[in-house]
Amino acid sequence: MKKILIALAAFAALVSCQSLKEEWQPVFTFGDNEPAEMKIWTEGDLSKYGFAGSFTTIKEMKQQYKKKTALENRMTSGHTITENVWIKGQVVSDDKSGNLYREIYLQDETGGIDLKLGKSSLYSDYKLGQWVYVKCQNLCIGAYNGMPQLGLEPDNTTTNEYETSYIDIQEIINTHVFRGAYDSPVAPKAVSESEISASIQAGFYGDLWGTLVTVKGLTYGDEIFALLYPHGILAHKKDNPYNRIFLSEAGTWGIDTWSMSKAKYVEYIEAGNFDKAVVGSGATKYGDILSKPRDYASQMGESVIAAFGPDADITYKEMMIKYATANYVSHYFKMGSTNVQVRSSGYAKFADTKLDSRILGGSKVDITGILTIYDGSAQMSLVTAPDDADNPSVKIN
Amino acid sequence: MKRIILFLTAILTGIALNAQPTGGVKGTVINRNGRQPVENAKLTLMQGASEIAAAVTAEDGTFLIPELENGMYTLVIEAPDFLETQVQVTVNDGYVKNMFNLSLTAIQRVAEVDDDSFAAFDMDDSGYNDNPTILFGSNDVFNNIAGYNFSSVRFRARGYASESQDVYLAGVKMNDAITGYSPFSLWSGLNEAMRSKETTNGSEVSDFAFGGYNGVTNIFGNATNVRKGLRGSILTNSTLYRLRLMGSYATGLMDNGWAFAFNVSARLGGNDWIDGVYYRSFAYYAAADKVFNDTHKLGFVFFATPGQRGAQNASTQEVYDLVGDNMYNSNWGYQNGKVRNARVRKTNEPIAIVKYDYTPSDKFNASATALYRFGKNGYTALDWYDAQDPRPDYYRNLPSYFYDANPDMNRNNDIKRGWSDEVWRHSDMYPELTHINWDRFYDVNRIQTDATGKNRSKYIQEERHVDQQDFNLAATFKYRPSSAATITGGLNARINRTEYYKQVADLLGGDYFVNIDNFAERDFAATPYKLQNDLNYYMKHGAAEKIGKGDKYGYDYYAQVRNYGAWLNGKFTFGNFSANLGGRIGLESFWREGLLRKGLFPGLDETGKKIVVDGVTIEPTYEKDGSVVTSYGKSKVSSFLTYAAKLGLNYVIGGSQRVYANVGYFNDAPKFNQVFLSPRTRNSLMDGITTIKTMSADVNWQYSADGINIRTTAYYTTIMDQSKVMSAYDDLQNAFSNFAINGIDQRNMGVEVGFKVPTYVVPNLSVQGVLAAGRYEYTSNPTMTQTVDNSAEVVMENVPVPYWKSTLLPDGTVKQHYVPSTPQIAASLGLAYNRNYWFIDADVEYFGESYLDMNPLYRTNHAVYGPDNQLTAQELEYMTAQERFDPAFLVNFSVGKSWYIHYKYQLGFSFNVKNLLNNKNVKTGGYEQTRMVDNTVSKSQYYRFDPKYFYMAGTNYMLNVYFRF
């Protein structure tokens, strides 16, 4: 009997120890076992990833871009950096307000760059003022409607609208983008009209693009721009004019909010704000949105009508409500003779915030945001909400 | 020694008196299953509480207890691995009473597998449930073999959903009040205490319950049914946990009329196959019975199984292929170098039972049970606010998101695919990318510092609670007015209040989390009141609540369920023929009671007026019947009159054969979770809720003689008007949506064959096998209503799902769709050797015709026609196809032996190895995702997201060593 009990005890001990050693103990289930503080990269650490000891300025890095260095199988491509180029900059944007998406802007003393990280809610990881080191080797510098962007080589899409693509892959981010020390947020640079004009003249190579600026003394231009896609599923390509509606050249279309959430968009449509909007783009114009695609069948052709399916027999207006989604809006502001568009996303948390009546009434405003270039025009993206309690991006004088 | 002295004393006394009695008892102890003799069985002859004599069976199972006085005795038969049996013996006129064959029931090895192997599949929280049926039945050859051999492939008896299997404890139906699922996890780990049970198959009626169409199992659970003595066991296995320690002690019925029983266990550790799955579960059980006299008996039971276990998750085949492991589990990751599972089931649901038995005569007995279940049932998960999706196998993290060979998918970046592919193929080098990255959650949370210096957590671990307060009363009676008639019946009542809520389990390095609706914020960021999970708090404080660890948030509501029922059954015997006829009637009702006023659906205030927030009067939205859509307060009460009837016919042929048939009709209420559109957000019910109508019939033939056991059954069942609700993200709406499906009909028919036959060549060697061949198919095209969660907007209302039942292809081929998640053909053939307390089993199994669970959205015209609204043969076949799993062969082997030591102690072991061929490609279940790819080049068709699967483990073992005395 004694032997049996000893044997049993030995077996129990054996199994228990095995459990404790290999299986049981590593399974974290309770207790204080918090990880150590996150690693903050320093310049000294970067040699592990090939950093040779000196940084290239953002301006110099942008100089590597030579438009239309097309790869064989692509119509459009940016320039893939093959040398061991490193830049460093401070984070000057965040996506907390929802106005920016999947990108951060880095700025050094020579300029700024749009870093297309391709991840959402980047403000969780990248704080304003934080230093970031970027290994540019194998990344791609390109332009989107003239705006410098740093990402990866473009996707080989049928539209080829972009010269770069989002970095997307976390392992590429981990081996190319290194988060350094926290620092005070960069103060926005007050820019003059002449500085903006000079940057526009310089096009892609303008020094201001991608930097945090305050443009002072702007007045509202009583004009907006928005591109709407009435059918939610049909392609949004440039060569699909039957699925494009431009809100431009006719004032504000009654839009008095910084942009349009889905609900606000529907509200505007139902209120008749866009009833006179014309379907089409460029030289191809069909007619207003109160008609159905089938009404334009002779212009569009039967293949297009077929593509609409049953939606060919509802009005564009009905279609817009059916496929409603949030939409961006660009409001025009004037600085002397220079137009500055303030473009806001329909997914911004301040999308449905109304423009202050004083703005609409002609008061001068100072606007702070990331300055970009779009088709030869200056454009601003607000980082914080216009009426943010702590740091408003729009100040009325 | 004491007995020997007594025995010798008796002999000596007898000699002295020269009046040696000549009576006695003899017979053969055999195994009921297989009729083989049981060697070394211990027989104890009792007279009242006094032990008169003892004996042990010989190798051929025979025994003789001689020299007994005339009188009435109780013969207690005990043998390792068999249930203890008692028989009454009367010795008359000095003769040796020949008891002939005394059969013992073998203890089922399936019970040693542990009910947790089934509970582990409980993924209801994710909208997916794949519980198999647990087959019991110690006297049924089919269930004996299938219950053990089929458990690893999630076999469902006759293709029925697991909730159709009625499980009773001490006479009280224990199926979950909300979902109907069988609740084995409530007592898993208490194998000794819950070992005694009685079962019926199919539509058979039992003495304690009317039952449904998928059998009834009643676990006795009381003290006197726990095997007497002290027992301990140590178990290790390679698929669930490393170690199970179990101990039990039962007094049996003592002279003072009391019986006590105790059972404790611990299950600890991980396993060989699935990383992150672990157990830290405990169990305790205490019970007492008091027999006052022959008429009155009172029993008390209290038990619980507190503990936690890490759960497994399903992934797509792409992920499994990349990591080279079909057992990959996306639920875990390293924290500080240690494995941590995000999905942990934490339970502590004690159950208290009081049972009263009343036996005034041999002709009448009755019992009444009160049962109360309470406690906590939590299931952790990750939650995040305005942050990247933390799931490692999120589709945007996989190579297929970047490149697809089909150009229409518009995924063309082969370089990114290559990077992603590299990461996944070397997952051991990139654990932070291919498993949950816990450290990052801390990193993120620690830098979300607000103006007060506190860190707002972006990622937290939540704990979703389903806490039941379940009170049951059940009473049954059995009346035998004559030998030809037996009347049984009962009453039952259930009051269940289940609270659904979630609480913060871990702030992961942050200081607080904010109680707002992440999904609502996407659409209504500019309208703060709409984001509120607790609008009343917001109205009072002007801001959403900052919550800490242990605080409730998100949603909080009661599911209230009330069931009342009565049943009556009569069994009538006419010679070899018997029949039973019975019926039940019941009233089931349920409603939702919202405890939080949600900003999206605030409804009206307590006085019936519109809510005013931030100076704005909120216009309520309305249901179709004009009532206000609201998250707060009591919903409409859904009530259903339920009823059922059964007829059973039974004919015994010559004592060894039985032919019997059952037919039943059941009108059952749907369950709470099948009819509320979005109970987490509002009181809305789906339209057209009706009862589920089931007709079931079976015909059976059973043979049992000369060691041969055979049972064959043919069954036919139709189930009509089933409904279910699914919630998922819909890419076409860009919104979280609810899909309510109504009018699902199915037909289950097939045959079951089970046999065990001696080989007659090698003594004690039998051939055994089972075949379950069925056809479980859908017979209707249901309708579907889709609503968007953020607005209650109806996207599709009662649209047909025309390709649910089948698809008619242009070439005239009909592709039938089948009831999923169980093999429709399952077979087992093997050898069983049983001698001198050795048992050796070896079986080969085949499983085939198993299908993937279907998503109704893919079977709508909307999905099939695609964005161009043009139907093509390719689209039709692609979008509506139902995947059939590859068939599988498995080989299992078991061996065991027990030793009786000094006829007092028993030491034994059982060791089994399953899946000896190490087949790691056996899909046991899975589901289609609801999502579709709509960002295509051609805009002519949608593409399905890849389905997710579960796989069976490769070669795995279980070793159990036990000691009893």
Residues in chain A with CB shorter than 8 Å from the CB of B336 are 28, 33-36
B621: exposed, middle or buried (C-beta count within 10 Å: 0-12, 13-18, 19+)? middle
**Quick check: A171 and B423 in contact, CB under 8 A?**
yes
Q: In what helix (H) or strand (E) does residue B6 lie, and over which residues does it extend?
A: helix B2-17
Written as one string, the DSSP assignment of B260-310 is EEEEEEEEEE--SS-TT--EEEEEEEEEEEEE-SSSEEEEEEEEE--EEEE
Q: Transcribe A77-125 into DSSP letters.
A: --EE--S--EEEEEE----TTSSS-S-EEEEETTEEEEE----S-GGGT
Pick from B402, B400, B444, B394: nearest CA to A166: B402
The continuous run of DSSP H or E covering B835 comes out as strand B825-835
Cβ contact B911:B957 at 8 Å: yes
Q: Do A23 and B242 touch (CB under 8 A)?
A: yes
- How large is the ipTM? 0.90
CB contact under 8 A, A165 and B458: no
Shared domain check, A93 and A69: yes
- Is residue A115 domain-resident? yes
Torsions phi, psi for A159 (to 5 deg): -90, -30
Given the DSSP bridges, would you call strands B172-173 and B166-169 parallel, antiparallel or unpaired? antiparallel
Where helices occur in B125-169 by DSSP H, the ranges are 141-149
B404 touches chain A (CB under 8 A): no
Chain B contact for A156, CB < 8 A? yes
Strands annotated E in B320-398:
332-335, 338-341, 344-348, 351-361, 364-373, 376-384
Domain of A21, in residue numbers:
2-179
CB contact B406 to A (< 8 Å): no
Dihedral angle computed from the Cα positions of residues A249, A253, A258 and A263, in that order, rounded to the nearest 10 degrees: -140
E strands in A255-359 = 278-281, 284-288, 329-335, 338-344
A170 and A218 belong to one structural domain: no
The pLDDT of residue A234? 80
Surface of B (902-931) touching A: CB under 8 A: 905, 907
Contact status of A370 with chain B (Cβ, < 8 Å): no
Cβ contact A373:A359 at 8 Å: no
Exposure b/e, B908-927, CB count within 10 A at least 16 = b: bbbebbbbbeebbebbbbbb
* Whole-angstrom distance, CA of residue B71 vs CA of residue B55: 18
Contacts for B289 with CB less than 8 Å, ≥ 6 apart? B222, B223, B224, B253, B258, B259, B260, B297, B298, B299, B300
* B884/B499 Cα distance (integer angstroms): 38
A301 domain-assigned: no
Rounded distance between C-alpha atoms, residue B218 and residue B204, angstroms: 13
The pLDDT value recorded for residue B13 is 44
Final residue belonging to a domain, choices A179, A214, A249 = A179
CA pair distance B726, B721, nearest whole angstrom: 17
Q: Across the interface, which of B270, B451, B870 has its CB nearest the CB of A23?
A: B270
Instruction: Please count the structural domains in chain A.
Output: 2
Of B234, B278, B422, the CB nearest to A27: B278
Q: In this complex, is the C-beta atom of A18 within 8 Å of any C-beta atom belonging to chain B? A: yes
Q: What are B410's two structure tokens?
A: 């518009």
CA-to-CA dists, residue B366 to B359, B362, B363, B474, B830, angstroms: 6, 11, 10, 11, 43
Asked whether residue A155 falls in the same domain as residue A192, the answer is no
pLDDT, chain A, mean: 88
Give yes or no for B396 touching A (CB within 8 A): yes
Give A 241-280 residues with CB within 8 A of chain B. 261-264
Nearest-CA distance B563 → chain A (Å): 38
A278 plus A391 within the same structural domain:
yes
CA of B467 to nearest chain A CA: how many angstroms apart?
21
Taking the Cβ of residue A353 and every Cβ of chain B, the question of whether any pair is shorter than 8 Å is answered with yes
Q: Is A296 domain-assigned?
A: no
Q: What is the 3-state secondary structure (H, E, C) of A18-86?
A: HHHHHHHCCEECCCCCCCCCCCCCCHHHHHHHCCCCCCCCHHHHHHCCCCCCCCCCCCCCCEECCCCCE
Residues 784-803 (B) with a CB less than 8 A from some CB of A: none
Rounded-to-integer distance, Cα A59 and Cα A47, Å: 23
**Domain annotation covers residue A205:** yes
Residue type for position B350: P
The pTM assigned to this predicted structure is 0.89
Closest of B440, B317, B346, B424 to residue B390, by C-alpha: B440
The DSSP result for A147-170, as a single string, is EEEEEBSPP--SS---SSB----H
- The whole-angstrom distance between B769's CA and the closest CA on chain A is 34
Tell the burial category of B900 from Cβ atoms under 10 Å away from its Cβ (0-12, 13-18, 19+): buried
Kindly give the pairing relationship between strand A140-144 and strand A79-80: antiparallel
**Which of B:192-231 have CB within 8 Å of A?**
none
Asked if B297 contacts B356 with a C-beta cutoff of 8 angstroms, the reply is yes
What are the DSSP E strand ranges found in B759-793? 765-778, 783-788
Structural domain includes residue A70: yes
Residue of B387, B527, B939 with shortest CB distance to A233:
B939
Note whether A164 and A148 are same-domain residues.
yes
Contact A4 B901 (CB under 8 A): yes
Look at residues B265, B295, B298, B296 and name the one whose alpha carbon lies nearest to residue B282.
B265
H helix or E strand, kind and range, residue B110: helix B110-113
What is the nearest CA distance from B943 to chain A, expressed in angstroms? 13
Best to test chain B binding among A2, A18, A23, A294 (most B CBs inside 10 Å): A23
d(CA B925, CA B46): 53
The answer to whether A86 touches A69, Cβ cutoff 8 Å, is no
Beta bridge partners of B652: B658
CA distance B800 to B627: 26
**Measured between alpha carbons, how far is B210 from B216 in angstroms, rounded to an integer?**
8
Q: Hey, which residues 44-83 in chain A have their CB within 8 Å of chain B? A: none
The verdict on a CB contact (< 8 Å) between A125 and B523 is no
Q: Does a structural domain hold residue A298? A: no
Q: Are both A241 and A147 inside the same structural domain?
A: no
**Res A13: pLDDT:** 59
- Out of A19-28, A380-389, B351-360, B548-557, pick the least confident: A19-28
Confidence of residue A4 (pLDDT cuts 50, 70, 90): low
What CATH number did the domain enclosing A20 receive? 2.40.50.200
A244 shares its domain with A382 = yes
Judge whether B132 and B110 are in contact, CB under 8 Å: no
The token duo for A278 is 């014309």
CB of A28 less than 8 A from some CB of B: yes
Within a domain: residue A305? no
Per-run averaged pLDDT (10 residues), chain B, 965 residues? 46 47 86 72 83 86 89 83 78 83 66 43 41 63 86 88 90 92 87 88 87 92 91 90 92 94 93 89 97 96 94 94 96 90 93 97 95 96 94 95 92 91 96 96 95 96 96 96 94 97 96 94 86 96 96 97 97 94 96 96 93 90 90 96 97 90 96 89 90 97 88 97 86 80 96 94 92 97 89 84 95 95 95 87 96 93 88 94 96 90 83 94 91 86 94 93 86
Output the pLDDT for position A200.
Answer: 94
pLDDT at B117: 44
Q: Is A300 within a domain?
A: no
Q: Which residue has the higher pLDDT, B512 or A27?
A: B512
Task: List, as ranges, residues 369-388 from B with C-beta within 8 Å of A.
Answer: 386-388
> Helical H runs in B362-437?
399-402, 414-425, 431-434
Pairing type for strands B62-68 and B279-291 reads unpaired
**A82 shares its domain with A171:** yes
Q: Between chains, do A18 and B870 touch, taking CB under 8 Å as contact? A: no
DSSP B75-107: EEEE-TTB--EEEEEEE-TT-EEEEEEEEEPBP
Chains A & B: contacts with CB separation below 8 Å? 181
Residue of B589, B604, B688, B687 whose CA lies nearest to B641: B589
Are A174 and A220 members of one domain?
Answer: no
Burial class (CB in 10 A: 0-12, 13-18, 19+), B748: buried
Instruction: Please check whether residue B792 is in contact with residue B725, taking contact to mean a CB–CB distance below 8 angstroms.
Output: no
Count of Cβ atoms closer than 10 Å to residue B595 Cβ: 16
Q: Is B415 exposed, middle or buried (0-12, 13-18, 19+ CB in 10 A)?
A: middle
Q: What is the pLDDT of residue A318?
A: 96
Same domain for A241 and A164: no
State the number of CA atoms in the 13 A half-sphere of A7 facing the CB.
Answer: 10
Domain end marker among A179, A208, A236? A179
Residue B410 at interface with chain A, using a CB cutoff of 8 Å:
yes
- Enumerate residues 317 to 346 of chain A having a beta carbon within 8 A of any beta carbon in chain B: 325
Q: Does A35 touch chain B (CB under 8 A)?
A: yes
A26 and A84 housed in the same domain = yes
Q: What is the pLDDT of residue A240?
A: 83
Q: Is the pLDDT of residue A7 over 70?
A: no
Nearest Cα to Cα of residue B264 among B279, B278, B277, B250: B250
Where a domain ends, among A145, A179, A213? Answer: A179
Q: Are A123 and A217 members of one domain?
A: no
Picking from A22-31, A135-144, B778-787, which range would have the lowest pLDDT averaged per residue?
A: A22-31
- Which stretches within A203-301 are classed as H helix? 262-270, 297-300
Helix (H, G, I), strand (E, B) or coil at A132: strand
The DSSP letter of residue B38 is -
Min CA distance, A351 vs chain B (Å)? 7
